[in-house]
Every structure is written in structure tokens, then in C-alpha cells.
């Protein structure tokens, strides 16, 4: 999964995780947002909540990271998102 996963911060804590996951999926599938096919999306509880999104192709993750601004619009409220690379740390048992 290395190189295909990004961490997203700035999620609305007041909304249910499943609704946030749906909105994130829509946002990051759109080509205008640099997105593409998603292999896995997990919303992790906070505080503050964040999400890990793994894309099918590493090029999609790179496009997402290259974009200057990601804003999630939910019900008229705009949430600026912080998108950073996610490095998966392996334990010695997983190597």
C-alpha cells in the first residue's frame, strides 16, 4: 500500500463517520479533484477524526497530494482538508 495511501485531516467531527466517508468517497473519486478509483477508505475516530484513503494506483495519490487545496462541502458548510502522505509502519513480525 506504500505510495497509494493519503491521510486526510480537517474532517467534521459533528457528523457520523459513515456520512463523512460517503462525502470523502465522492470528493476523491472526482477527476476534477485529482481523484480516481479508491481501494479502501477508513475514517478513524478522533479527536480530531482523520481518514486514510488508499487509491488503486499510486499516480492518483500523487495527483491528490500535488493539489494545493481540497475543500469538502457538506450541507452548505465548507471544510478545508489537509492531505498528507501516509507511511505505513510495519512491525518486525510483518516483514
**pLDDT by residue, tens only, the chain of 95 residues:** 458 999 999 999 888 999 999 999 999 999 999 999 999 999 998 788 999 999 999 999 999 999 989 999 988 999 999 999 997 654 455 44
* End-to-end Cα, the chain, rounded Å: 14
pLDDT of the residue at 28: 96
pLDDT of the residue at 10: 95
Give dist(CA 37, CA 25) in Å, integer: 9
Domains along the chain with CATH numbers: 17-85 (3.30.70)
Cβ density class 8-27: b for 16+ within 10 Å, e for less: bebbbeebebeebbebbeeb
pLDDT of the residue at 45: 84
pLDDT of the residue at 3: 86
C-alpha 76: how far from chain center: 20
Amino acid at each position: 500500500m506504500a505510495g497509494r495511501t493519503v491521510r486526510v485531516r480537517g474532517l467534521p467531527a459533528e457528523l457520523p463517520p459513515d456520512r463523512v466517508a460517503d462525502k470523502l468517497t465522492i470528493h476523491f473519486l472526482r477527476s476534477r479533484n485529482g481523484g480516481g478509483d479508491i481501494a479502501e477508505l477508513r475514517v478513524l475516530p478522533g479527536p480530531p477524526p482523520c481518514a486514510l484513503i488508499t487509491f488503486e494506483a499510486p499516480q492518483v495519490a500523487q495527483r491528490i497530494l500535488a493539489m494545493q487545496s481540497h475543500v469538502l462541502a457538506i450541507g452548505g458548510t465548507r471544510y478545508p482538508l489537509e492531505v498528507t502522505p501516509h507511511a505505513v509502519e510495519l512491525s518486525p513480525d510483518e516483514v
